[in-house]
Amino acid sequence: GCGTFTFLSSAIAAISGLLMGYELGIISGALLQMSSILTLSCKEQEVIVSSLLFGALFASLTGGFLIDRFGRRLAIIVASSLLVVGSLILLPYESYETLIVGRIAIGISISLSSIATCVYIAEIAPQHRRGLLVSLNELMIVIGILFAYISNYAFASIAHGWKYMFGLVIPLGALQAVAMYFLPPSPRFLVMKNNDEAARKVLKRLRETSDATKELTVIKSSLKDELQYCFLDLFRSKNNMRARMLVGLTLVFFVQTTGQPNILFYASTVLKSVGFQSNEAASLASTGVGVVKVVSTVPATFFVDQVGSKTFLCIGSSVMAISLVTMGLVNRNIHVNFTKVCRSQSPEDFSLQRPGNFTVTNGSLKDLFASLASTEGLSFDVQSPDVARTGELNRTAVAGRKSTTASLMESGEVPVVLKWLSLASLLAYVAAFSIGLGPMSWLVLSEIFPGGIRGQAMALTSSMNWGINLLISLTFLTITELIGLSWVCFIYTIMSLASLAFVIMFIPETKGCSLEQISMELAK
């Protein structure tokens, strides 16, 4: 339904999603090795993980202006190059300070690319295939996370395996930067810069047609009105801009507060608490969850243009609420005791023989660290929209604390029904997010803002996404210890129902509409 060149351009841009997902998922297994080699304290491990969040937050606050000023394609090239530089910084030296600098650079990179990629693809895609092409980015994110889980296991027992984990993305990042150089700029960006003839040539290549005058005229007419906007107009009532911004910010809020970034960290805890053996739990919680996310994102990607993003959001929020209630009720009937195991920041509290091999005086802690050593892939995603978008860094922040915080369970024999019901509800929850709030929220955000300030608006919603990520990651474990996992599930259920109501009342259905039609309709 769209030209080969358009699809190829979108796929190359969506490599940013693959790189982002990989970086989100890889830190857990890498940190387990790094913490033993560098004898990192609990606080130092948290700083390393959080440095990615700080870098992402910084980029989201400034990236929108770069995207609107210098172009979407150039922003993706810069982001890919920065990811390569950040990864190279991590490899030669084994020091705490180097890790922080490298992870900040990578955080800036994936934040900038997540904004630029969605905008670029939305602006080059034909209106009847925009949903498919924009959702490619989310599909690539979950594939990247799955690759990270596999990489965690593959290099877990190799000396300095974390260097291989970080180094794998360097060739791909460099390849994307080079490939993007040969792709065309966004035609809408060219019109914004008064380069109409170049925009006409790009549209001819993208649409594989000899006459792009009609679409170019529509773009010019739309941008003529949209270029009058400034950043502060996002907070004014002019053309419903304030309402649009509130819709975008609220959607991002629900991406985080429905729990996907956090609940997955406890997937192995939930599974082990209901009777699965530790190896089974690790396998299901990492590779199993990753596969479910990929499989669930595929139908959402390929059918969004027929079904519509609003429908997928409603289905996803409904199923999330049902599965979270089920998880909450199951855990109410099972005693799960969450206890911090990293009570001291002194490396003398344990001796390290090799990565993943802990000798601890307390028998229960020894068992726990032994199980952690076999579950290197416990970094869990969400999605963020983006990602998520992300949605998707909070899970990394929490997952990175795996080696410093874990759970001890006290449970008797668990009925088989509860055991499988808990697993089914967890996987249903993951699948529901992957067809709803995961990909669809970022598609909606790339559509509802005028082209003249689309980059700045996306950056503002993205900065809220990273900010909530950071806030939740710093408080989630404490809240879970205070009120218990079952009540956390019930709170997430309420948030899922609230997101369903919000989507029904406030999210417009945009399938089959051009970006110009959507902007004109929302301005009324």
**Confidence at 117, pLDDT banded by 50, 70, 90:** very high
Which pLDDT does position 414 carry in this prediction?
A: 61
What architecture is the 234-343+415-523 domain classified under in CATH?
Up-down Bundle (1.20)
Q: Where in the chain is the domain with CATH 1.20.1250.20?
A: 1-183, 234-343+415-523
CA angle 381–385–387, rounded 5-degree value: 40
CATH assignment, 1-183: 1.20.1250.20
Which pLDDT does position 284 carry in this prediction?
A: 55
Higher pLDDT, 377 or 209: 209
Q: What are phi and psi of 445, to 5 degrees?
A: -65, -35
Q: How many residues does the chain have?
A: 524
Residues 6+ apart with CB under 8 A from 146: 21, 25, 287, 290, 291, 293, 294
Which pLDDT does position 182 carry in this prediction?
A: 94
The mean pLDDT of the chain is: 77
Q: Retrieve residue 115's tokens.
A: 């904004």
* Range from 148-157, 194-203, 266-275 that averages highest in pLDDT: 194-203
When mean pLDDT is compared across 28-32, 125-129, 178-182, 407-411, the lowest value belongs to 407-411
Measured between alpha carbons, how far is 287 from 267 in angstroms, rounded to an integer? 12
- Asked if 335 contacts 410 with a C-beta cutoff of 8 angstroms, the reply is yes
Q: What are phi and psi of 355, to 5 degrees?
A: -55, 125
HEC string of 359-415? ECCCHHHHHHHHHHHCCCCCCCCCCCCCCECCECCHHHHHHHHHHCCCCEECCCCCC
Which tens digits make up the pLDDT trace of 333-387? 766 554 443 333 333 333 333 333 333 333 333 343 334 333 333 333 333 334 4
* Range from 35-44, 199-208, 509-518 that averages highest in pLDDT: 199-208
71: alpha, beta or left? (left if phi > 0; alpha if psi -120 to 50): left
- Residue 69 confidence (pLDDT) above 50: yes
Compute the average pLDDT of residues 217-221. Answer: 82
Which pLDDT does position 226 carry in this prediction?
A: 64
When mean pLDDT is compared across 240-249, 433-442, 447-456, 499-508, the lowest value belongs to 447-456
Helix (H) or strand (E) holding 15: helix 15-37
- Residue 11 confidence (pLDDT) above 90: yes
Which pLDDT does position 131 carry in this prediction?
A: 82
Which pLDDT does position 266 carry in this prediction?
A: 54
**Alpha-carbon distances, residue 35 vs 1, 78, 126, 404 (angstroms):** 50, 31, 48, 10
Q: Are strands 336-337 and 408-409 parallel, antiparallel or unpaired?
A: antiparallel
Compute the average pLDDT of residues 518-523. Answer: 76
Quickly tell me which residue has 């089959």 as its tokens: 512
Handedness of CA 65, 66, 72, 75 (dihedral sign): negative
Compute the average pLDDT of residues 236-250. Answer: 86
Rg of the chain taking only CA atoms, in angstroms: 23
Which tens digits make up the pLDDT trace of 123-137? 898 888 888 888 888
Measured between alpha carbons, how far is 370 from 212 in angstroms, rounded to an integer? 63
Which pLDDT does position 518 carry in this prediction?
A: 77
Higher pLDDT, 35 or 115: 115
Angle of helix 4-13 versus helix 196-207 axis, rounded to 10 = 100
Which tens digits make up the pLDDT trace of 283-342? 456 677 778 888 988 888 888 888 888 999 999 999 999 999 998 888 787 665 544 433
Collapsed DSSP state (helix, strand, coil) of residue 95: coil
When mean pLDDT is compared across 38-42, 404-408, 494-498, the lowest value belongs to 404-408
Which pLDDT does position 276 carry in this prediction?
A: 62
**Confidence at 398, pLDDT banded by 50, 70, 90:** very low
Collapsed DSSP state (helix, strand, coil) of residue 47: helix
Which pLDDT does position 42 carry in this prediction?
A: 64
